[in-house]
Amino acid sequence: MLPKAGGVEKGPGCIEQGPGLDVGEIRENLRLLLDLSSQLPSETVLSPDDSTVFRDSCSALEKVLTAPTRGYDDTLYRSSDRVDSLEDVAADHREETAHPGNKREEARQYGRELSLVLNRLTKANEDFRQRRVEQRQIHDQYQIRSEEFSARVSELEDEVKSLHDEVFNITIELECMRGTVSGLDSWLSHWKNQNNSDGHLNSVLKRPAKPRGKSSKYFEQLDRLQEQRDGLIDGITAWMRGWNDATDGFQARSTS
């Protein structure tokens, strides 16, 4: 190991630290390092930490020496910053080398977590597909029932239209019958008034007594005709009362 600069006496192989290096000083320092390496025994093997420091230092030197030519200000580097950077890299490498199992354990843990997330996503996808199939079945059933209801509503609309037409026709027939019955009622009332007038009663009262013999049959027939007439009038009057009751009931149902 090279002795650390600062706080100790400089040996013949120590590299001096300063604010900056020119080309001659760079070559001199590289030559000094080459001389130091030639003094090492042939069986010398660096430890893992020292090997890491050596490789990182060589990489840093290669990067500095192969950089394009820049101004003087851009070539000024603080040695302490370079040393700290190299030490940080070495520390990170030592940590990774000292705890390789932790990295593998973290990788396995991440793998398990990713597998768990994948399983959950797969299960959620299957549930979503199942719900989609169920929703499609429900939609198909609803569509079928909706079509059935639409057909039933169309049938009911046709029935309602037919009933409206029937009611309209019945109303027309009813109005015609009302006109006929009204005419019959007027005729019957007029006929009753004529038969119940004083002249008619006087003619009946002044009718001579029934003679005996053949002429009495005429009066008997006249009486029978009068009875038939009275029965007809009573029947028509009763039918008129029933007709009026039926008309009132029809009007009550139509307005309810």
At 196-255, the pLDDT tens digits run 654 444 444 445 555 555 557 777 777 778 787 777 777 787 787 777 777 777 777 666
Higher pLDDT, 81 or 185: 185
**DSSP codes joined into one string, 8-60:** S---TTPPPP-S---HHHHHHHHHHHHHHHHTS-TT----HHHHHHHHHHHHH
CA distances from 234 to 14, 28, 47, 150 (A): 156, 157, 144, 56
Contacts of 89 (CB under 8 A, 6+ apart): 52, 56
Report yes or no: 188 and 236 within 8 Å, Cβ to Cβ.
yes
Structure confidence at residue 139 (pLDDT): 94
CA distances from 145 to 43, 131, 153, 246 (A): 93, 21, 12, 44
* Local structure of residue 206 (DSSP, 8 states): T
Structure confidence at residue 141 (pLDDT): 94
Q: How confident is the model at residue 41 (pLDDT cuts 50, 70, 90)?
A: confident
| Distance (Å, whole) CA 146 – CA 136 | 15
Write the pLDDT tens digit of every residue in 44-101. Answer: 888 888 888 888 888 887 777 776 554 444 444 444 444 445 555 555 555 555 556 6
